[in-house]
């Protein structure tokens, strides 16, 4: 999930930097959010990292970057997960946080932290009581758009007007074993959108659309009736996906069912 906009930080935690030895400034960054923040060959890179380095240097403190990855969090949102990272003390600052007014209101309830180095298995992580956040001045502005059908009755001019809409997610490559079966490449997504918008024979249709995946769970045949010809092949990324899979804790329920870790969270059948 991409992060854009300003720094979000919990100022109360910054004041804890005291002691004979200067502790490192811990900064959370989103993993895989090029060019703002990403990890390359084990090293954090990107604009957000450079900003964090400048802040640490100005404060006279060493820097420790904590990359995190967020996805498949049914009970939470990105804002609540970042809040949990700050409120739990995993990091003092969160880089590249979107500056949305509602995210800086007094939070309600609790949330789990997202994945980060050293985190427990997701369903074993405690829920963290959320604290109110404070933001620095924005250091980056960026224009984003959403795409709808031209004939859509709904007009979207503000982020708050996205409420109630289903928003798709697409990745450049499958990053685990399960997604070798369900991956949809960005190019294939664009092809499907064009078919939906431009095909003269479509009035109302429901069809699955995935890339050309050898292990596919879903049937592309209905999409193919309207000219869909997937170009992406999940098998081309199998070595990368399986290497990433090896880093994950064993979760046979998540690997077996389409819902992934959503299923393992509440699976109580006593077996596979």
Residue 119 and residue 190 share a domain: no
The answer to whether 191 touches 224, Cβ cutoff 8 Å, is no
The answer to whether 94 touches 57, Cβ cutoff 8 Å, is no
Residue 184 and residue 128 share a domain: no
Report how many domains make up the chain: 2
Residue 46 and residue 112 share a domain: yes
Residue 107 and residue 42 share a domain: yes
Domain annotation covers residue 149: no
Domain annotation covers residue 20: yes
- The SS3 call for residue 63 is strand
Q: Which of 76, 111, 135 is the last residue of a domain?
A: 135
Q: Which of 99, 116, 135 is the last residue of a domain?
A: 135
Domain annotation covers residue 174: no
Q: What is the pLDDT along the chain (272 residues), one digit of tens a residue?
A: 333 334 444 333 333 444 457 899 999 999 878 888 988 888 999 999 999 999 999 999 999 999 998 664 545 677 888 899 999 999 999 988 776 777 777 877 888 898 899 998 877 889 999 988 888 888 887 776 777 777 666 777 777 777 777 666 678 888 888 889 989 998 999 899 899 888 988 888 888 889 999 988 888 998 999 999 999 999 999 998 998 888 888 888 877 777 777 677 666 665 54
Radius of gyration of the chain (CA): 21
Residue 114 and residue 27 share a domain: yes
Domain annotation covers residue 144: no
Residue 198 and residue 88 share a domain: no
Residue 202 and residue 131 share a domain: no
State how far the alpha carbon of 230 is from the alpha carbons of 208, 211, 220, 221, in Å. 12, 5, 9, 11
Domain annotation covers residue 87: yes
Domain that holds residue 215: 179-266
Residue 112 and residue 26 share a domain: yes
The residues, ordered by sequence, that sit 6+ positions from 232 with a Cβ below 8 Å of its Cβ are 183, 184, 185, 187, 188, 211, 212
Helix (H) or strand (E) holding 64: strand 63-68
pLDDT at 44: 93
Residue 18 and residue 71 share a domain: yes
Residue 215 and residue 110 share a domain: no
Domain annotation covers residue 17: yes
Q: Which of 103, 118, 135 is the last residue of a domain?
A: 135
List the CATH number of the domain containing 21: 3.40.190
Residue 130 and residue 10 share a domain: yes
pLDDT at 20: 52
Domain annotation covers residue 169: no
Residue 78 and residue 19 share a domain: yes
Domain annotation covers residue 220: yes
State how far the alpha carbon of 166 is from the alpha carbons of 194, 203, 255, in Å. 18, 20, 25
């Amino acid at each position: 999930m991409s992060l854009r906009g300003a720094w979000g930080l919990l100022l109360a935690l910054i004041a804890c930097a005291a002691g004979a030895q200067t502790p490192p400034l811990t900064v959370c960054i989103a993993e895989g959010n090029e060019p703002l923040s990403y990890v390359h060959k084990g090293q954090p890179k990107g604009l957000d990292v450079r900003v964090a380095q400048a802040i640490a240097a100005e404060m006279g403190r060493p820097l420790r970057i904590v990359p995190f990855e967020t996805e498949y969090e049914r009970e939470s949102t990105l804002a609540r997960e970042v809040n949990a990272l700050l409120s739990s003390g995993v990091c003092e600052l969160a880089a590249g946080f979107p500056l949305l007014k509602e995210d800086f209101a007094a939070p309600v309830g609790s949330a789990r932290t997202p994945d980060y180095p050293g985190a427990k298995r997701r369903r074993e992580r405690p829920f963290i009581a959320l604290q109110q956040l404070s933001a620095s001045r924005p250091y980056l502005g960026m224009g984003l758009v959403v795409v709808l059908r031209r004939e859509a009755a709904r007009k979207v001019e503000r982020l708050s007007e996205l409420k109630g809409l289903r928003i798709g997610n697409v990745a450049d490559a499958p990053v685990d074993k399960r997604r070798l079966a369900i991956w949809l490449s960005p190019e294939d997504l664009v092809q499907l959108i064009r078919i939906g918008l431009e095909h003269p024979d479509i009035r109302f249709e429901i069809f699955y659309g995935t890339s050309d995946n050898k292990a596919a769970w879903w049937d592309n045949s209905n999409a193919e009736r309207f000219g869909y010809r997937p170009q992406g092949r999940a098998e081309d990324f199998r070595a990368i996906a399986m290497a990433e899979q090896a880093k994950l804790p064993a979760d046979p329920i998540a690997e077996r069912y389409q819902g992934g870790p959503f299923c393992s969270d509440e699976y109580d059948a006593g077996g596979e």
